[in-house]
Structure 1
Amino acid sequence: MALWSAIRRSEQRQRRDLDRTVLARRVGISPSSLYAYLKGRTLLRSTTLDRLLDELQASPGERRELASLREAVELTDQRDRVTDSPPSGLPTPRQLPPVTRGFAGRAAELRTLDASLTEGDPGTPFIVVIYGTAGVGKTTLALYWAHRLKDRYPDGQLHVNLRGFDADQTPDPGQALDGLLRALGAAPESVPCEVDAKAALFRSFLVGRRMLLVLDNARSAEFVRPLLPAADDTLVIVTSRNRMDGLAVREGAHRLGLGVLPYRDALALLERRLGAPRLAAEASAADELVELCARLPLALSVSATKVGASLETFVRRTREVHDRLDALGSQERDLDLRTLFQTSYALLPEPAARLFRLLGLHAGPDIDEYACAALLDDDIPAARAALSVLVSGNLVGELSSTRFGSHDLLRAFARSLADHIPPDERTAAISRMLDHYLGTVVHAGRHIQVCRTEDLPWAPPPRRLPPLGDYDEAMGWLTAALPTLGATVAQAVAEGFDSHAWRLAWAAAVFLRRTGRRADRVLIQHAGLTAALRSGSPAVVATSRRLLADALTRMGQIPRALSLLHASLTTCAELDDIRGVFQARLSLIRAHEAAGAPATALRHAEAAYGLTASLGDSLARADALTCLAKQEHHLGRHAESLRHARRALRLYVRIGYAEGEADIRRTIGRAEQRLGRPEEAVAHYERSLELDRLLGDRFWEAHKLQDLAGGLEAAGDAGAARLHREEAWAAFVALRHPTADLIRAELDGAGPDGPGSVAPAQDRS
């Protein structure tokens, strides 16, 4: 009837009757067909309707009304033909691809997915997005979960690969809808051309059906949205390399971010592929392969097909290649990691793409937005925006609220891109990054060694400084950045930025000592000395030798430490560097004390004290008095030790040097205990422990707990003594320090000399 009305209105506008035969000929149909359309016996094709409306000179309003009516009739017709068991006997769609052989792990993720099914809102479809970087196993997990659930959706399971990251194909929701509609029984000739119309028809088909829909490899919410049903009894599983923020915000999608496999699950995947006997026979090589593959499921699966006769040989070759992606690559594009990473990278806007390339120049395993800004030579908002794009695309992960990083294979891909950065641009970016780290570490050092800022090297003020306003913030940043700092010092040495390398090592020395990072401390100071030796400066070499010697002393490598310290002392004397000589003497005291030679250490302490008059430095005098007090204590001269220690304590308190106060109170406590005053000893131990906890000095906190246990035991409180000794044991275990074994033996009653027999700790170094 609406079409008849349109013809009559057209006749009124043209002031003449329209010949139906002529009209049919102009539209390209037979007169009988036109009458069938007008009587509603046949549905016009959309193109035929458009031509007819052109001939009628229909208004925009008439066009919209008739197009809407036609679409509604078509939707009803299509739905009726499918739901009323069409003559073709079209089977219920069961399109899920098979589950990948050798599926392993993901138990926690599966529990999360199962639990999410109870959180849907009535009246809306349930949408789950599984996102993660290329090769992390999104599709495998989605299909595994879908197969577990398929019996709950008896009206069918649909699957479509959206090919959102294919390099040679642009995602087309309309094409995907064509396939879905055909699977549901829509006649090809009745499927409309417009994407919106196809989407409406698709939604109509799913009303009243319990169906499962897997939309695999989606690029963005924009391409997924036309494929979403309106029915509340449909489960939609979307996989993507992007986080799909739009689906979460607008459609309320549940999201599961997929990371690399835990170590045990990665090993289980290899076992499924290679067999348990083989992995047991080459267990060490299997462990290394898991790490070489960054625990990325696709890399592990591809590697399993390439291992050959010897797992150890394959691992050795993989380890030795310059670009690990070459060793783990595949001739098949959908299995080749470099190709997959490249397709994600190719879609990045240029600011984010540039940052990703520059991240290939960054040696550390993680980074913050301030270092990213330094790499980009831009401000923090620009770095934050670029990082956000990389995080959304899962080329970079958000490891914490302030730090970002990627797994080893993505970092290898970034390095391969960085290889093509022009040399001048590369050098400038590395220089900016090293300036940033040096300036930030020195700035942090001013907060953690307030009374010793003269020991810090010069550094350019950082243009982009993280929030380091107090001691806790400085220690927190240094703790978070430590793995990156070690790698950065090594990179500076390798790239020839020697001044940055030794200055970074110097600036990090106190933090490394205070937090008990013994192995890291040796590695960083060794790299610093390597750079210092190339600097041509005897004074720089002397200081770097001393700092490395202090680190070696803490590790118990005394002969090597003494050799370095004597060389440092000689150089400083030749340069007439009194402060350098003084510091070398202090380090020699610590080394000889650790070697169990207090008499030799005392001679160096006396020589150091003799230099303090020339230095005119109260802090130096307090340090020298502390050294005298300690060696006198070791030699059994407790009264003399206590006299020197109390003088040192007064100086430290007046200066406000908490670390020195914590140190000397320990010596006072030990002297008081030896002189038969355990209550006074306990009070000093408790104050010393309190200060070390405030300073975050894990190494000395452990020792003070042991001291306090001995004092409490001497004071007759055996129960409290044991509790503190157990706490000390746990602290040394966490530090991987050999003293833990001695304390354990003492707790078990097997100490060589009974309670309190643990050997005294060396001086602070």
Structure 2
Amino acid sequence: MVSRRPADDPGEMRRELAQQLNHLLFDRERRQGRGVDRAELARRTNVSRSSVYAYLNGTTLPPTSVLDQLLTALDAGGEARRRLSTLRDEIEVAQQRGPRGAEAAVPRQLPCVTERFTGRDAQLARLAALLEDPGGVTTTIAAIDGAPGVGKTTLALWWAHRVKERYPDGQLHIDLRGFDPEGPLDPGEALHRFLHALGAAPESIPDGLDEKSALYRTLLAGRRTLVVLDDARSSDQVRPLLPGTRHSLVIVTSRDRLDGLVVREGAHRVTVPVLPRAEARELLRRWLGPARVAAETGAADELIDLCAGLPLALCVVVARAADRPDWRLAALASRLREAPDRLGALGEGSLDLDPRTVFRASYALLPERAARLFRLIGPYPDVDAHACRALLGAGGPPAAELDALTRANLLTEGALGRFSAHDLLREFARELAGGDPAEERGKATERLLDHYLGTAVRAARALEPCREADLPPAVPDRPGPPLRDRPEAMAWFAAEMPALQAAMRQAAAEGFDRHVWGLAWAATVFLRRSGRRAERVALHRIGLEAALRAGDRAVQATSMRLLGDGLTRLGRQDEALPLLRTSLAECSAIGDARGVFQAHLSLTRLHDSLGDLPEALGQAERALRASTAVGDLLARADGLTHVTKQRERLGRHEEALPLGRRALALYRRLGYAEGEADALRCLGRIERRLNRPEQAIALFERSLELDRLLGDRFWTAHVLRDLAAAHEAAGNPALGRTYRAEAAAMFEAMGQPLADPARAGAEDEAS
């Protein structure tokens, strides 16, 4: 049978289909020698008799499944089945496209976008790169995710407007309301709206989701269309709305990471962070004008910080400032800083602008344990999986909870498996935590503090294995990172320092004083080696306050000494001296021999830094005598080293040399690398003073090797400067300049430029 294929007229095409169905019916009747009962045909196809007549008359198009059953009942061959199924699909498309000669609808649905859009250069570059591959065989999908209020929709619409001319066959847009309190938009409803926009008559749109999706893909086949799906709840909500050909671009925004869309449909994820400071400043300039921002750069930066770089919050604040040109930005920052409810102040009572409302929509969808973890991490700038395990009291790392939080973009996973949230989300978390029972919060805090203190003590042992006696008492052992060697211990402290500081503040606020001073003690070696002098003083101030509250005289004396050591290195000897004298007096009064010894060492360093060399030598000699009462070889070696240094400083080099060699031998016997490096530096200086630069260079090079192995930036810088002087004395000025420049760069990086070379020796002795 030859098909008379009418071009685009749905009515003629239905009649053609009906004619061919009737031919099949007549052939069946001729072969079996009797008529076909229409009621039996209706029963076999599971439709009414009136429907069968409508199909055979060409007034109604049978659904695909019914046509298949009808062709089976009529014994249609393979060729006839293929021909009639194709014709049926062409009729359906023709019905959606309207009568013959009508042009397909071209929707232009993109909403307007703000002219104040700025920044996002990295994300725009990533999006632009998606369109550079002409060889793709499927729809390009850009999945833009990020935290609530971070500007995903603005970025998506901005880019959509930039590229829309590439898609002349239409631009579709819909708000999927994924996190609306009333629930997300049903994908079937979204498809209905799209089909209507593409010209489909309402009465011809099928009811089933799969059928709607198939028709949608059919209508978009071969068309270059841009589809923007805003605020998706999940991959399942998005999947039915995806075209099926490579000619289209789909931009999806969501607070969820849409992992399913990335894995199964090959979507390209583009994560939107809070605005970097430079881009946030440009946003302020767009709203307020360059002159107004330039006149109060400090206040502008404070506004950015108070808004945590979150575009939603920033736009609320700058819109307020733009409406009040006579207001100073400093006054606006002060008002926001002092507001008892910063989240409420940012929202100004408008639900769609209130960060609290926006955040809550994502938080409400979390599983219970993930929601609990979110509430508990509020006080901490970032945490790792071990800390989260301690907070929850879990038997293992809470992978599912962390995945739920990162998938919802309420937490961001950074490098090395650390998890963080911006300040406004953390404030929201702390507010939520206030509704939990105080006992439950206290237990979580104690578990976390036990974890931090126990791990910090283990890390400190890895840094200085010989100084167990200087560490705080043991705490309950909780699972943590392995910390197998010095580099791992240094890396742990470096990564955790912001969290440790936050934990100490939280511990102080909740009365866990033992953890406060214990963490300060345990972090001392790391802070010293990394040259973090200001942080060291800040931590030991908090530690001393906690020790004073605790009421233990020995703990108080040690905390005073540690703070005094930090102040000495910071150049604030006038504050350090009374602390060290009080520490010495307390240790003497309670019979703490080790405390007496260490206080004399601290006073040695302080007086040396003041240039009072006779007093420094006197304190060092007292320390050496006190080491006998301590009763260990390490104390003896430390005492010998300090006396050696002071005699060298006073020019008594021949007297100093044998003491330094004895100290070096003891350190090597103990396997104490830091002490060995210290003794080598001291001996190297003596050799240089005795005009033996080659011997000095050999000693300094070994000391440098050890300091670098230890990760001690402070002493590495000092020995580099010593090497420079030794090479200059040996007649190698070029090599001397190289070492001196490297030393200067390290001092500068630590915030400790040595402007006065005459003070170099004194500064070397700072603890």
Query: Structure 1-normalised TM-score?
Result: 0.91
Q: Does 1:344 align with 2:358?
A: no
Q: Does 1:94 align with 2:108?
A: yes
* 1:388 corresponds to: 403
Q: Distance in 1 between matches of 2:39 and 2:406?
A: 65
> Shift in Å at residue 499 of structure 1?
1.0
* 1:138 corresponds to: 152
Q: CA contact under 8 A between 1:125 and 1:230: conserved in structure 2?
A: yes
Alignment of 1:142-157 (within 5 A): 142-157=156-171
> Shift in Å at residue 198 of structure 1?
0.2
Alignment of 1:466-505 (within 5 A): 466-505=481-520
- 1:229-250 deviation digits (Å, cap 9, x = unpaired): 1111111111111111111111
Question: Which residue of the other structure, out of 246, 250, 254, is the alignment partner of 2:264?
Answer: 250
Q: Distance in 1 between matches of 2:85 and 2:401?
A: 44
Question: Which residue of the other structure, out of 707, 710, 715, is the alignment partner of 1:700?
Answer: 715
Q: CA contact under 8 A between 1:161 and 1:217: conserved in structure 2?
A: yes
> Shift in Å at residue 216 of structure 1?
1.0
> Shift in Å at residue 598 of structure 1?
1.1
Question: Which residue of the other structure, out of 380, 385, 408, is the alignment partner of 1:369?
Answer: 385
More divergent stretch after superposition (118-127 vs 531-540): 118-127
> Shift in Å at residue 306 of structure 1?
2.5
Alignment of 1:440-479 (within 5 A): 440-479=455-494
- 1:570-621 deviation digits (Å, cap 9, x = unpaired): 1111101111111111111111111111110111111111122222211111
- 1:643-670 deviation digits (Å, cap 9, x = unpaired): 2111111111111111111111111111
* 1:609 corresponds to: 624
* 2:12 corresponds to: none
* 2:122 corresponds to: 108
* 1:722 corresponds to: 737
Q: Distance in 1 between matches of 2:151 and 2:120?
A: 10
Q: Does 1:198 align with 2:212?
A: yes
Q: CA contact under 8 A between 1:593 and 1:762: conserved in structure 2?
A: no
* 2:521 corresponds to: 506
Q: CA contact under 8 A between 1:164 and 1:171: conserved in structure 2?
A: yes
> Shift in Å at residue 42 of structure 1?
3.6
Q: CA contact under 8 A between 1:525 and 1:547: conserved in structure 2?
A: yes
> Shift in Å at residue 367 of structure 1?
0.3
Question: Which residue of the other structure, out of 643, 665, 681, is the alignment partner of 1:650?
Answer: 665
Q: CA contact under 8 A between 1:120 and 1:126: conserved in structure 2?
A: no
Q: Distance in 2 between matches of 1:736 and 1:4?
A: 94
SS in structure 2 at match of 1:214: strand
Q: CA contact under 8 A between 1:215 and 1:236: conserved in structure 2?
A: yes
Q: Which amino acid aligns with 1:325?
A: L
User: Residues 81 and 589 from structure 1, CA distance in 2 versus in 1: closer, same or farther, beyond 3 angstroms?
Assistant: same
Q: CA contact under 8 A between 2:610 and 2:762: conserved in structure 1?
A: no
Q: Distance in 1 between matches of 2:719 and 2:40?
A: 105
* 1:761 corresponds to: 763
Percentage of matched positions with identical amino acids: 52
Q: Distance in 2 between matches of 1:413 and 1:88?
A: 55
> Shift in Å at residue 84 of structure 1?
7.3
Q: Distance in 1 between matches of 2:364 and 2:165?
A: 39
Q: CA contact under 8 A between 2:544 and 2:556: conserved in structure 1?
A: yes
Structure 1 residues without counterparts, runs of 5 or longer:
744-752
Q: CA contact under 8 A between 1:369 and 1:380: conserved in structure 2?
A: no
Structure 2 residues without counterparts, runs of 5 or longer:
1-19
> Shift in Å at residue 324 of structure 1?
2.3
User: Residues 191 and 585 from structure 1, CA distance in 2 versus in 1: closer, same or farther, beyond 3 angstroms?
Assistant: same
Q: Distance in 1 between matches of 2:63 and 2:140?
A: 34
> Shift in Å at residue 39 of structure 1?
3.7
Q: Distance in 2 between matches of 1:46 and 1:116?
A: 37
User: Residues 439 and 202 from structure 1, CA distance in 2 versus in 1: closer, same or farther, beyond 3 angstroms?
Assistant: same
- 1:617-651 deviation digits (Å, cap 9, x = unpaired): 11111101111011111111111122211111111
Alignment of 1:668-683 (within 5 A): 668-683=683-698
Question: Which residue of the other structure, out of 639, 657, 660, is the alignment partner of 1:624?
Answer: 639
CA RMSD of aligned residues (A): 3.1
Q: Which amino acid aligns with 1:632?
A: R
- 1:65-95 deviation digits (Å, cap 9, x = unpaired): x999999666423433565786776652111
Alignment of 1:389-428 (within 5 A): 389-428=404-443
Q: Distance in 1 between matches of 2:333 and 2:203?
A: 57
* 2:343 corresponds to: 325
User: Residues 637 and 124 from structure 1, CA distance in 2 versus in 1: closer, same or farther, beyond 3 angstroms?
Assistant: same
Question: Which residue of the other structure, out of 557, 562, 565, is the alignment partner of 1:547?
Answer: 562
User: Residues 463 and 67 from structure 1, CA distance in 2 versus in 1: closer, same or farther, beyond 3 angstroms?
Assistant: farther
- 1:354-380 deviation digits (Å, cap 9, x = unpaired): 2111212xx331100001000000022
User: Residues 115 and 223 from structure 1, CA distance in 2 versus in 1: closer, same or farther, beyond 3 angstroms?
Assistant: same
User: Residues 713 and 344 from structure 1, CA distance in 2 versus in 1: closer, same or farther, beyond 3 angstroms?
Assistant: same
SS in structure 1 at match of 2:467: helix
> Shift in Å at residue 209 of structure 1?
0.7
Q: Which amino acid aligns with 2:138?
A: T
* 1:737 corresponds to: 752
* 1:129 corresponds to: 143
SS in structure 2 at match of 1:333: coil
> Shift in Å at residue 2 of structure 1?
5.6
SS in structure 1 at match of 2:174: strand
Q: Does 1:597 align with 2:612?
A: yes
User: Residues 534 and 72 from structure 1, CA distance in 2 versus in 1: closer, same or farther, beyond 3 angstroms?
Assistant: farther
> Shift in Å at residue 44 of structure 1?
4.8
Aligned length: 737
Q: Does 1:211 align with 2:228?
A: no
- 1:413-455 deviation digits (Å, cap 9, x = unpaired): 1111111111110111111111111111011111111000111
* 1:435 corresponds to: 450
SS in structure 2 at match of 1:215: strand
Q: Distance in 2 between matches of 1:328 and 1:450?
A: 51
Q: CA contact under 8 A between 1:609 and 1:625: conserved in structure 2?
A: yes
Q: CA contact under 8 A between 2:287 and 2:318: conserved in structure 1?
A: yes
Q: CA contact under 8 A between 2:96 and 2:204: conserved in structure 1?
A: no
Q: Does 1:378 align with 2:380?
A: no
Q: CA contact under 8 A between 2:293 and 2:300: conserved in structure 1?
A: yes
- 1:32-88 deviation digits (Å, cap 9, x = unpaired): x864521435425799x79x99xx9x99x99xxx99999966642343356578677
Q: CA contact under 8 A between 1:75 and 1:204: conserved in structure 2?
A: no
> Shift in Å at residue 508 of structure 1?
1.1
Q: Distance in 2 between matches of 1:541 and 1:619?
A: 23
Q: Distance in 2 between matches of 1:68 and 1:272?
A: 61
User: Residues 507 and 3 from structure 1, CA distance in 2 versus in 1: closer, same or farther, beyond 3 angstroms?
Assistant: farther
SS in structure 1 at match of 2:143: strand
Question: Which residue of the other structure, out of 229, 238, 257, is the alignment partner of 2:243?
Answer: 229
Q: CA contact under 8 A between 2:42 and 2:52: conserved in structure 1?
A: no
SS in structure 2 at match of 1:328: helix
More divergent stretch after superposition (454-463 vs 490-499): 454-463
Q: Distance in 1 between matches of 2:480 and 2:700?
A: 38
Query: Structure 2-normalised TM-score?
Result: 0.90
> Shift in Å at residue 15 of structure 1?
11
> Shift in Å at residue 314 of structure 1?
1.7
Q: Which amino acid aligns with 1:708?
A: L
Q: Distance in 1 between matches of 2:272 and 2:42?
A: 65
Q: Does 1:273 align with 2:287?
A: yes
* 1:748 corresponds to: none
Q: CA contact under 8 A between 1:243 and 1:393: conserved in structure 2?
A: yes
Q: Which amino acid aligns with 1:578?
A: A
Q: Does 1:335 align with 2:353?
A: yes
Question: Which residue of the other structure, out of 316, 320, 327, is the alignment partner of 1:302?
Answer: 316
Q: Does 1:159 align with 2:173?
A: yes
User: Residues 567 and 71 from structure 1, CA distance in 2 versus in 1: closer, same or farther, beyond 3 angstroms?
Assistant: farther
User: Residues 682 and 45 from structure 1, CA distance in 2 versus in 1: closer, same or farther, beyond 3 angstroms?
Assistant: closer
User: Residues 4 and 709 from structure 1, CA distance in 2 versus in 1: closer, same or farther, beyond 3 angstroms?
Assistant: same
Q: Distance in 2 between matches of 1:662 and 1:699?
A: 12
Q: Which amino acid aligns with 1:245?
A: D
